[in-house]
Structure 1
Amino acid sequence: MARTQGSRAAITGPLIREKSLRLFARHGYAAVSMRQIAADVGVQAGALYAYTQDKQALLADLMIDHMDRLLAAWSDDLSLPPLDRLERFARFHIAYSLDNADAVFLSYMELRNLSPENHAAVSALRRAYEESLSAILRDGQAAGVMTVPDTRLAAMALIAMLTGVTNWYREGGRLDRKRVADIYWDLARGAVGA
């Protein structure tokens, strides 16, 4: 069916994604209905299906988009020493996570609700990001400036620690973002024996 003249697809599509992300992050995927999303957007529930196949496809799209944007935003600088690269990663991850807290929360808490195919797609993107940190840790060990008993486990533990900032940090709180990043960097450095 053709879209009527004056339709606002360029507005409605992104609004559906924005409202879905917020609702899923606040209430959990299982607790949010398509009707609830439609009401938040201000459209009839049936209108959502012009933008997504179903709620599962919407969840997967949000999570894949988050991981694609995260991977596109991060770039390792192999010319730097491993400790400098680790510091860049830690500061980047904290800043990106705080700027995208709902997407980060969804990416970690709602994996269990993905279909097997969507889970595999999101997991592959997550592994690519984890591997970028693992490479830094391997290079740090090879240079003799880091010590970790298991590189993959250390990478996942560091990412979990850095991501945890989204659970408690509030703008205008006791610590500003720079101070939080400084403290987390000290913790990350200690975690790798540097």
Structure 2
Amino acid sequence: MARTQGSHSDITGPRVRTAALRLFAQHGYAAVSMRQIAREVGVQAGALYNYTPDKQSLLFGLMKQHMDELLAARAELSATGDAVTDLEAFTRMHIRFHRARPEEVFIAYMELRNLTAENFDAIETLRRTYEDQLEAILRAGVASGDFAVGDPKIATMAVIAMLTGVNTWFREGGRLSLDEVGQIYWDMVRKTVGR
């Protein structure tokens, strides 16, 4: 099928991903058709297959890009060797990163069930990599005597859930700035794992 006049792969490809992201976040993966994505982008439905093999590949690509960007943001934080300092940096980075990407976060958590088994395993591996980094900080804090955590794996899941929850209620222009919320959450995280 011919490309729609005025369509360019370097422009249309990202527009396909952006439209899929928005539609999946609004309506859910299962409720969105390739035809809807094509209509949103302004191309014929058959033209989408020039940019993606199928809807599953779009979903997987969005989730993988989110996790790759999260791991890259985490890698930009230099480990100091001080568990308290490293946990604070992790806390603030996690809140800032996720707040800037509400649609990606929604899809990353709510659409896991719609991944094929192979794609699910790939995303879970990336998620475990991220979780393992926080768990390592908590274990280092337990070893140094700064943290009192009975089970670092469970504490890891609890901290990530708490931090990611900011996206469900925080609104720009509200009573508190994101930096103020970050400080409050850092205080809560520190008390959760501290002595």
What are the residue-to-residue correspondences of 1:126-141 with 2, within 5 Å? 126-141=127-142
Partner Cα separation in structure 1 for residue 73 and residue 148 of structure 2: 27
Match of 1:120 in 2: 121
Match of 1:92 in 2: 93
| CA apart distance, 1:32 | 1.0
| CA apart distance, 1:124 | 0.2
Partner Cα separation in structure 2 for residue 175 and residue 158 of structure 1: 21
Aligned length: 194
- Once the two structures are superposed, residues 156-177 of structure 1 have per-residue CA deviations (whole angstroms, 9 ceiling, x without a partner) of 1111110111111111111111
Q: Give the counterpart letter for 1:150 in structure 2.
A: D
Partner Cα separation in structure 1 for residue 38 and residue 188 of structure 2: 43
* 1:17 aligned onto 2:53: no
| CA apart distance, 1:193 | 2.3
Q: Give the counterpart letter for 1:40 in structure 2.
A: E
| CA apart distance, 1:80 | 3.9
- Once the two structures are superposed, residues 8-36 of structure 1 have per-residue CA deviations (whole angstroms, 9 ceiling, x without a partner) of 11110001111111111111111111111
Partner Cα separation in structure 2 for residue 2 and residue 151 of structure 1: 55
Q: Give the counterpart letter for 1:110 in structure 2.
A: E
Q: Give the counterpart letter for 1:86 in structure 2.
A: L
- Once the two structures are superposed, residues 129-181 of structure 1 have per-residue CA deviations (whole angstroms, 9 ceiling, x without a partner) of 00110010000000001011211111111111101111111111111111110
Partner Cα separation in structure 2 for residue 27 and residue 94 of structure 1: 25
What are the residue-to-residue correspondences of 1:45-84 with 2, within 5 Å? 45-75=45-75, 76-84=77-85
SS in 2 for 1:74: helix
Q: Give the counterpart letter for 1:190 in structure 2.
A: K
Match of 2:43 in 1: 43
Match of 2:185 in 1: 184
Distance 1:190 1:133, change over 3 A: same
Partner Cα separation in structure 2 for residue 5 and residue 112 of structure 1: 37
SS in 2 for 1:146: coil
Structure 1 gaps, min length 5: none
Greater shift, 1-10 or 104-113, is seen at 1-10
Any conservation in 1 of the 2:3–2:47 contact (CA below 8 Å)?
Answer: no
| CA apart distance, 1:3 | 7.0
Match of 1:162 in 2: 163
Partner Cα separation in structure 2 for residue 22 and residue 12 of structure 1: 15
Q: Give the counterpart letter for 2:148 in structure 1.
A: T
SS in 1 for 2:125: helix
| CA apart distance, 1:77 | 2.8
SS in 1 for 2:153: helix
Any conservation in 1 of the 2:4–2:43 contact (CA below 8 Å)?
Answer: no
Scaled by the length of structure 2, what TM-score is found?
0.94
Q: Give the counterpart letter for 1:191 in structure 2.
A: T
Partner Cα separation in structure 2 for residue 130 and residue 188 of structure 1: 15
SS in 2 for 1:78: coil
How big is the alpha-carbon RMSD for the aligned residues of Structure 1 and Structure 2? 1.7
4+ runs deviating over 6 angstroms: 1-6
